[in-house]
């Protein structure tokens, strides 16, 4: 009996019974109350410039578990600039749950006058997780929770780029988007050898509340197993599950803005969708449209979707400051059957690279009504472009040009479209393999020609398409490669808006 007692005593103690159910209960009760927007921070902090906010720096020696041997450490963040209201932070361990108090001396300030004005009870703006990714003595930031329901992650070799969110509400609708916020977090202290850390979060918004559990592990990629429970306060026209937000200014498939010398500028190059019923892997290169553009991809039992950065060489961007070639890809993989729904791609116009203008999420076909309780569990993997696990040849590059000039063709009003495929079943084929293309156009558009050739210098297969849209209409194309009669590539899907700069003038 004594040996049994000693063995039990050596096990970690439960945190006073605290669990995900406590967060769920809190979210459920909150949904029965009228919405109260978070109290904003003082105006002078909301109006800081980016440089001024960067001058408020958390001292790493004050990290939450710095005196322990835990691989995971927590750096705190000040409110300010984009982070316009404080959040409540708790630490959870074997001794119970206790608040993580704010202390302005945990920070250094490059502007002493600004430091004097910061209230002693300002509160936390968010937090960053660190882990020894680059060696046992390193503390590398790999996950940040800050701003509404946003969070950002990277893998071992990435720079920060795209963001994820807890939820999206009415994104892209004329009624205006709502931005629910994570208002409270519980950080579960891991032991020294743990490779997983758990974070709980409470979400509050005008039309819904939510409880979230994130089980986080990192390495070459960062993987988060996410459990979400949503409680609907009022009808929602378009509910976005597992939203991803990114930036696309221009790429190889678009005209380069006047004066720009870099070949591409984007955090993500395309949307990838894996449909559960058909098994199709669909690739949609991104655009910077002249006006709001919404695309819907119907799915039944969706198997995954994500925003991907497939150009990973410095030469693709030539920007040593922004390091766009190191920006991560992100892949959402549902757990269980989410049912019928659509992956939505929202693309907004932007005239620079500082605005996130791309959003992708899954939305259910069934209406979302007041009083409903919804559950969506999924994994989110962030890292290199292989995070999707797809086994088809990938559409690596898309180029679009005039179909009525040397190298393009001799058809006025047509477009020459080039798509390079590589990897998957194409990888080991000989140059004379019978690879052909299947190409279709939507509406009254005409596919004039298409053919495939092997590019031996780069070991890629190039699909060349000459197509012409109907007068004043966009050009919608779909294509994939076949080896004899077997599909060997993703389905490349592309939409050239009628109003574009590719032919030298708006059409």
**Phi/psi of residue 60, each to 5°?**
-60, -25
Q: Could you tell me if residue 6 is inside a domain?
A: no
What pLDDT shows up at residue 267?
98
CA distances from 401 to 56, 285, 379 (A): 47, 15, 38
Which residue in the block uniquely carries the two structure tokens 């210098």? 457
Q: What residues does 278 pair with on adjacent strands?
A: none
| Predicted model pTM | 0.93
pLDDT > 50? residue 56: yes
**Is residue 502 in some structural domain?**
no
> Average pLDDT, stretch 206-218?
98
Backbone region of residue 259 per phi and psi (left: phi > 0; alpha: psi in -120 to 50; beta: other values): left
State in Å, rounded, how far the first CA of the chain is from the last one.
84
pLDDT tens for residues 96-117? 999 999 999 999 999 999 999 9
Percentage of the chain lying above the pLDDT 70 cut: 96
Paired strand residues for 212: 201, 228
pLDDT band at 327; cut points 50, 70, 90: very high
**Whether pLDDT at 158 is above 50:** yes
Among 97-106, 178-187, 274-283, 321-330, which stretch is predicted with the lowest mean pLDDT? Answer: 274-283
Please check whether residues 40 and 131 belong to one and the same domain. yes
Query: Which of 213, 28, 18, 21 has its CA nearest to residue 98?
Result: 18
Decide if pLDDT at 9 tops 80: no
Domain-located, residue 13: no
How far is it, in rounded angstroms, from Cα 243 to Cα 406? 42
Q: What is the pLDDT of residues 460-503, one digit of tens each?
A: 999 999 999 999 999 999 999 999 989 999 999 999 999 888 87
Q: What is the CATH number of the domain that holds 317?
A: 2.70.98.10
Q: How far is CA 391 from CA 151, 160, 427, in A?
A: 29, 26, 11
What is the domain extent for residue 415?
A: 394-496
pLDDT of residue 255: 87
Q: What is the largest CA-CA distance in the chain?
A: 90
Q: What is the pLDDT of residue 88?
A: 98
Give the domain CATH number at 430: 2.60.40.10
Residue 274 lies in a domain: yes
Q: How many domains does the chain have?
A: 2
Residue 135, pLDDT > 90, answer no
* Domain-ending residue, one of 383, 413, 439: 383
Residues 93 and 178 in one domain: yes
Mean pLDDT of 154-177: 96
- 38 and 138 together in one domain: yes
Give 16's pLDDT tier (boundaries 50, 70, 90): low
Residue 14 has pLDDT above 50, yes or no: no
Q: Which residues 6+ apart lie within 8 Å of 61 measured at CB?
A: none
pLDDT above 90 covers a percentage of the chain that reads 89
Same domain, 362 and 269: yes
Q: Which residues of 362-399 are buried (b: 16+ CB within 10 A; e: fewer)?
A: bbbeeebeeebebebebbbbbbbbbbbebebbbbbbbe
Query: pLDDT tens-digit profile of 437-468?
Result: 999 999 999 999 999 999 999 999 999 999 99
Asked whether residue 346 falls in the same domain as residue 481, the answer is no
Instruction: Provide mean pLDDT across the span 305-327.
Output: 97
Q: DSSP letter for 64, please.
A: T
Residues 417 and 325 placed together within one structural domain of the fold: no
DSSP letter (8 states) at residue 236:
B
| DSSP letter for each residue of 73-137 | EEEEE--BTTB-S-BEEEEEETTEEEE----GGGEEES-HHHHHHS-TT--B-EEEEEE-SSSTT
Region 294-321: mean pLDDT is 95
Check pLDDT > 70 for residue 10. Answer: no
Residues 413, 355 share a domain: no
pLDDT at 414 over 70: yes
143 touches 128 (CB < 8 A): yes
Residue 411 φ then ψ, to 5°? -115, 115
456 shares a domain with 368: no
If asked whether residues 374 and 459 sit together in one domain, one would say no
Which of 358, 383, 408 is a domain's end point? 383
How would you write 146-203 as a 3-class SS string?
Answer: ECCCEEEECCCCCCCCCEEECEEECCCCCCCCECCEEEEEEEECCCCCCCCEEEEEEE
Residue 75 near residue 57, CB atoms below 8 Å: no
Residues 398 and 461 in one domain: yes
**How do strand 460-468 and strand 415-422 relate by DSSP bridges?**
antiparallel
Looking at residue 138, its pLDDT comes to: 87
Residue 1 is assigned to a structural domain of this protein? no
Which tokens is 129 given? 């997780």
In a domain, 295, yes or no: yes
Q: Which stretches of 301-388 are assigned E, i.e. beta strand?
A: 304-308, 329-335, 340-347, 358-364, 373-383
Confirm whether 172 is domain-assigned: yes
* Domain finish residue from 383, 411, 444: 383
Burial 409-441 (b: 16+ CB within 10 A, else e): bebeebbbbbbbbbbbbbeeeeeebebebebeb
Per-residue confidence (pLDDT) for residue 140, from 0 to 100:
94
One domain for residues 325 and 419: no
Q: What is the DSSP letter of 414?
A: -
Residues 375 and 403 in one domain: no
Is the pLDDT reported for residue 504 higher than 60?
Answer: no
Mean pLDDT taken over the chain = 93
In a domain, 389, yes or no: no
What value does the mean pLDDT take over residues 226-238?
98
Both structure tokens of 266 = 């984007």
pLDDT of residue 11: 38
Among the residues of 236-365, which ranges form H helices?
314-317
What's the gap between Cα 505 and its chain centre? 33
């Amino acid at each position: 009996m004594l040996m049994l007692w000693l063995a039990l005593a050596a096990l970690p103690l439960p945190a006073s019974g605290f669990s995900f159910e406590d967060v769920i209960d809190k979210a459920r009760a909150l949904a029965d109350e009228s919405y109260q927007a978070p109290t904003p921070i003082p105006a002078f902090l909301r109006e800081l410039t980016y440089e001024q906010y960067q001058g408020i720096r958390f001292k790493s020696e004050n990290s939450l578990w710095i005196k322990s041997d835990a691989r995971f450490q927590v750096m705190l963040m000040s409110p300010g600039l984009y982070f316009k209201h404080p959040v409540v932070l708790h630490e959870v361990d074997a001794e119970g749950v206790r608040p993580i108090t704010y202390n302005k001396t945990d920070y250094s300030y490059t502007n002493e006058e600004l430091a004097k004005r910061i209230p002693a009870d300002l509160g936390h703006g968010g937090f960053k997780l660190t882990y020894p990714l680059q060696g046992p003595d390193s503390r590398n930031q790999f996950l940040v929770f800050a701003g509404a329901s946003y969070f950002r992650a990277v893998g071992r070799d990435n720079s920060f780029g795209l963001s994820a969110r807890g939820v999206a509400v009415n994104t892209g609708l004329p009624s205006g988007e709502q931005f629910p916020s994570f208002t409270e977090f519980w950080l579960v202290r891991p032991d020294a050898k743990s490779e997983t850390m758990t974070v709980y979060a409470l979400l509050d918004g005008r039309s819904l509340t939510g409880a979230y559990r994130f089980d986080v592990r990192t390495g070459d990629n960062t993987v988060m197993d996410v459990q979400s429970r949503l409680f609907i306060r009022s009808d929602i026209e378009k509910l976005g599950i597992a939203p991803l937000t990114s930036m696309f200014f221009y790429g190889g498939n678009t005209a380069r803005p006047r004066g720009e010398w870099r070949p591409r500028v984007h955090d993500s190059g395309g949307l990838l969708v894996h449909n559960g019923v058909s098994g199709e892997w669909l690739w949609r290169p991104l655009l910077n449209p002249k006006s709001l553009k919404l695309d819907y991809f119907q799915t039944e039992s969706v198997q995954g979707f994500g925003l991907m950065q497939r150009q990973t060489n410095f030469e693709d961007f030539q920007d040593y400051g922004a390091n766009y070639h190191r920006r991560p890809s992100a892949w959402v993989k549902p757990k269980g059957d989410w049912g019928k729904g659509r992956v939505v791609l929202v693309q907004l116009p932007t005239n620079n690279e500082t605005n996130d203008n791309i959003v992708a999420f899954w939305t259910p076909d069934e209406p979302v009504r007041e009083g409903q309780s919804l559950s969506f569990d999924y994994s989110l993997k962030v890292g290199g472009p292989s995070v999707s696990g797809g086994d088809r040849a990938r559409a690596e590059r898309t180029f679009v040009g005039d179909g009525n000039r040397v190298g393009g063709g001799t058809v006025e009003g047509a477009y020459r479209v080039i798509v390079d495929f590589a990897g998957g079943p194409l990888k080991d084929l000989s140059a004379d393999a019978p690879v052909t293309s299947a190409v279709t156009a939507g509406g009254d558009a005409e596919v004039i020609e298409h053919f495939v050739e092997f590019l031996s210098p780069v070991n890629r297969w190039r699909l060349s398409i000459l197509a012409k849209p109907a007068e004043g209409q966009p050009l919608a194309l779909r294509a994939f490669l076949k080896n004899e009669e077997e599909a060997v590539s993703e389905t490349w899907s592309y939409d050239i808006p009628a109003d574009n700069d590719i032919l030298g003038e708006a059409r």
